[in-house]
Amino acid sequence: MFVRILATASLEFTVARRNRWVIVSVAMMMLFSLVLSAAGSAPAGQMAVDPLSVTVASLISLAVYLVPLIALLISFDAIAGENERGTLALSLTYPLARTELLLGKLVAQLGVVAIAVFAGYTVAAVVAFASGGVEAAQGLPALWRLVWTSVLLGAVFLSLGHAMSCLARRPSGAAAMAIGLWLVAIVLYDLGLLAAIVADDGGSFTTDIFPWALVLNPADAFRIFNLAASGAVDAASGLSGAASSIAVWKPLAAIVIWPLAAALLARLSFQKVVP
């Protein structure tokens, strides 16, 4: 089983490398990290103590947009593309289970996301140490937390991308669904919550439903967990006030459970695909 998963993963990684997904993802993450690091402490004001923590606070809001986007871009073609090329039918006539095929792709693509995340955050760390000296070491735990939560966030959206790839019959349809998902989950969801809070004006929605709604979205859970755990101020999000009122275990649980739930969803969607 592991041989077949690894074989699939290694082929898939070669495809990602040749397709320039690796280089594009790494370049995107490094570029944005560099820009945010260069912007320095301006957005965080006086709150942060060391330069790395300041940068991490900015990186949280960057990762929330960029990591899901990268994950969806890499993953939307996974099944629909193979089905269109006719290689899906072929692979499935081999002694290769659907779960193995999907896991192999997930492993390879998660590798790409992890490389991009590492590269980007390393740039941020290097800049922070260069400007702040050893004091920046205080921000390392926050940076590490950002790394592994980013990889888990990537895993969620890779699997969601696989699910879209299964449900759409063609790669173009899968791409449209993936972009739609990104827009809804990352952008519109928060706007919707904000609008609801404003309309609710401190009523039961704000106190009872809103904290759960925030935690149930993997991107928001990622943001809240990182903000709450590092005690930093999120300059880019209007939801920052909520972060302090939610127990840390809730977003943490969401971050850990979502990758499994999304992978299960992808697997169930794959079952419906007739090659």
The binding track of 11-40 with respect to other proteins, each residue x by CB under 8 A or -, is x--xx--xx---------------------
Question: Contacting other proteins (CB under 8 A), which of 30, 49, 69, 92?
Answer: 92
How many chain residues interact with other proteins (CB under 8 A)? Answer: 23
Question: Applying CB under 8 A, does 122 fall inside the site for other proteins?
Answer: no
Question: Applying CB under 8 A, does 69 fall inside the site for other proteins?
Answer: no
Give the contacts of 102 (CB within 8 A, at least 6 positions apart): 78, 162, 263, 266, 267, 270
Question: Applying CB under 8 A, does 264 fall inside the site for other proteins?
Answer: no
Tokens, residue 262 = 């999304």
Cβ atoms 224, 246 nearer than 8 A = yes
Question: Applying CB under 8 A, does 46 fall inside the site for other proteins?
Answer: no
Nearest-angstrom CA–CA distance, 54 and 21: 29
State the CB neighbour count (10 A cutoff) for residue 64. 23
Question: Applying CB under 8 A, does 275 fall inside the site for other proteins?
Answer: yes
Compare residues 93 and 204 and give the one whose CB is closer to other proteins.
Answer: 93
Beta carbon of residue 275, minimum distance to other proteins (angstroms, whole number): 5
Please report how the helices 249-271 and 140-167 are oriented relative to each other, as an axis angle in degrees rounded to 10: 20
Cβ atoms 273, 88 nearer than 8 A = yes
Compare residues 90 and 264 and give the one whose CB is closer to other proteins.
Answer: 90
- DSSP class of residue 117 equals H
Nearest-angstrom CA–CA distance, 260 and 107: 13
Question: Applying CB under 8 A, does 94 fall inside the site for other proteins?
Answer: yes
Type of residue found at 200? D
Cβ atoms 43, 58 nearer than 8 A = yes
Beta carbon of residue 102, minimum distance to other proteins (angstroms, whole number): 14
Question: Applying CB under 8 A, does 99 fall inside the site for other proteins?
Answer: no
Beta carbon of residue 25, minimum distance to other proteins (angstroms, whole number): 16
Binding site for other proteins (CB under 8 A): 3-4, 7-8, 10-11, 14-15, 18-19, 85-87, 89-96, 274-275
